[in-house]
Amino acid sequence: MKRIKVMVVDDSAVVRQVLTGLLEADPAIEVLSAVADPLLAMTRMKTQWPDVIVADIEMPRMDGLTFLRKIMSERPTPVIICSTLAEKGTKTSMEALAAGAVAVITKPKLGVKQFLNDSCDDLLSAVKTASHANVKHLAVREKNSADAILPPLENHVAMIQTTERVVAIGTSTGGTQALEVVLKALPRVCPGIVIVQHMPEKFTAEFAARLDNICSISVKEAQNNDRVVPGLALIAPGGKHLLLRRRGAQYFAEVVDGPLVNRHRPSVDVLFRSVAKSAGANALGIIMTGMGDDGAAGLLEMRNAGARTIAQDEESCVVYGMPKEAVLRGAVEKTVPLNAIAREIQQQLAVTA
């Protein structure tokens, strides 16, 4: 069996030692080298390129974000950020994900060695997931790519705005950039959207705020009883499940605690099932890039309830796991590339015109 080749880049000798020990204890992983800064890393990578890089952010001579952007622009490679800066504020973590990081692991300033030992399973899982990532789709994109992805549609009129239609999106690994592509391409006149992106608690508010700043539509972290209205996307808060409820002709968000479903909270299956129940044929379900099978069963329920269902195609996925499982279960009506998903969402309006 081919072992996953990993490079560790961290200025702390303790962290390098602990990470190397934890990773090499798994027979599926080989640590090529553990170096103190990105310049040393790039020198080593001239002779042997790793399958996965685990990197800090605060490092001498070159910071981790600059290193990440350089890697993703020159030779896209799965990168896991393991940094104390995620503890300081989630903005830095969002910048890392936007720059192409596959995952972000927050390490504390104190007790790092014990934390890494306690988090060994999460670290190994992140490395193995990253090794399967199709990172060419995480490479830095042109800032003004929305027009190329989706030319403006003609003949939009105000009277087609309605709360009767709703779009539900589920995604995981690679989803932060994929959602950016989709939501940036939407005009303000579009159906209300509810989203589950697998993310840790406290990350989703910053993620939603960032999207809100760069999109024509409004984007926010969902709160209990938020109305789902045209031109608004609600993102499930990390650590909570998001459900869609209907009162009369209006849709509302319900944010609840609960057990992990398919190892996740929020869970795509929970959202999709609630949409099948509350919206039925008035909904469009979309499952996008991600590891595992969360959302496949719920999407099938949506399709059985009369909803239209779409999966992102394998070629444009970072990880073709969740969409593949949905296709295998017969939950998907149509498979489309990432750059066609926004148009599919807008066509949801035509159903009510």
294 catalytic? Reply is yes
Ranges of CATH 3.40.50.2300 domains, the chain = 4-138
Of the residues 33, 93, 172, 267, which is catalytic? 172
Nearest to 338 by CA among 310, 316, 311: 316
User: CA–CA distance from 70 to each of 66, 75, 316 (Å)?
Assistant: 6, 8, 22
Name the amino acid, one letter, at 113. Answer: K
How would you write the pLDDT of the chain (353 residues) with one tens digit per residue?
689 999 999 998 988 998 899 999 999 999 999 999 999 999 999 999 999 999 998 888 888 888 998 898 888 999 999 888 765 446 788 888 888 888 888 877 677 778 777 778 888 888 998 898 888 777 654 443 222 212 333 433 322 333 478 999 999 999 999 999 999 999 998 999 999 999 888 889 999 999 999 999 999 999 999 999 999 999 999 999 999 998 878 899 999 988 888 888 899 999 999 999 889 999 999 999 998 889 999 999 899 989 999 999 999 999 999 999 999 989 999 999 999 999 999 987 665 44
Q: In the CATH scheme, what architecture does the domain 4-138 have? A: 3-Layer(aba) Sandwich (3.40)
Ranges of CATH 3.40.50.180 domains, the chain = 147-350
Strands 52-55, 79-83: pairing kind: parallel
198 catalytic? Reply is yes
Q: CATH top-level class for 147-350?
A: alpha beta
Of the residues 269, 293, 294, 316, which is catalytic? 294
Q: What is the 3-state secondary structure (H, E, C) of 130-158?
A: HHCCCHHHHCCCCCCCHHHHCCCCCCCCH
CA distance 286 to 288: 6
12 catalytic? Reply is no
Of the residues 83, 93, 198, 278, which is catalytic? 198
